[in-house]
Amino acid sequence: MLETAAQGAHPRVPKRRRLSKRQRNWILGALLVAFVVGTLAGVPIGTKPRPTVRIPLPYITVGAAFAPLDHTGVVPSNIFAATVVPRSAVVTGRENLDNDNGPFDRSVTFQVPLAANSLITFEKAALVHFGWRTSQRTYSKGVTTFYAVKAGNDGNYWEVAASIGPAAVRSLSSANAQNVSQISVRLLRQSFS
């Protein structure tokens, strides 16, 4: 006697069709290509330096000023080489913002015998000249801040925040006291993974 579905017989399950070896290889190849393209898309790249953009003043890199904050050599050489201040800048303060707990986040403040507008013009040109990609420029309470990103040769993105405004304390002697400004340079490592 044959059982029907109503009497409790199991309905017939259609047979699963298997992929051929060739189809599996095509799918595996497509997944491999997608993985490689996705991985390469995640590798940090910066904007190209534009050495034709002239920096209006003589400059120095911030490497020596950051040395006491970077005793383990975390900041890659290409980031220090691309982060500059006017040659006349004098260090007035340093901050370890991450307290050695997490990604590198440190700041150095400089005083410069220049008007704030001249310092802003300098910083804007320096960022473009050295290939930083400016993501934002803000102005609040007399302080202009540039936020920019660049790929480090360590596999991480690095952000610089350069805040320019009137000097809080005038430690530089200047013939004209209002031509003393300050620039705080903050370097922050960001993982791209």
Structural domain spans, the chain: 59-191
Strands 133-140 and 105-112: unpaired
Q: Enter the DSSP assignment of 99.
A: T
CA-to-CA distance for 49 and 70, rounded, in angstroms? Answer: 25
Long-range contacts of 13-21 (CB under 8 A, 24+ apart): none
Identify the CATH assignment for 59-191 out of 3.40.1000, 3.30.310, 2.60.40, 1.10.3470. Answer: 3.30.310
Shortest CA distance to 160 belongs to which of 187, 133, 122, 125?
187
Q: Give the pLDDT confidence of 107-124 residue by residue, as tens digits.
A: 999 999 999 999 999 999
Helix or strand run (H / E) with residue 143: strand 143-151
User: pLDDT at position 20, please?
Assistant: 83
Question: DSSP alpha helices (H): ranges in 9-48?
Answer: 21-42
pTM, full prediction: 0.72
Where on the phi/psi map is residue 142: left (φ > 0), alpha (ψ -120 to 50), or beta? left
Q: What is the pLDDT of residue 31?
A: 73
Q: What is the pLDDT of residues 66-88, one digit of tens each?
A: 999 998 899 999 999 999 999 99
pLDDT tens digit at each of 193 positions of the chain: 555 555 556 667 667 778 788 877 877 777 776 665 555 444 444 556 788 889 999 999 999 999 999 988 999 999 999 999 999 999 999 999 998 888 899 999 999 999 999 999 999 999 999 999 999 999 999 999 999 999 999 989 999 999 999 987 655 555 555 689 999 999 999 865 4
CB 83 within 8 A of CB 187: yes
For 51-54, which contacts have Cβ atoms below 8 Å and span 24 or more sequence positions? 51/129, 53/125, 53/128, 53/129, 54/125, 54/129
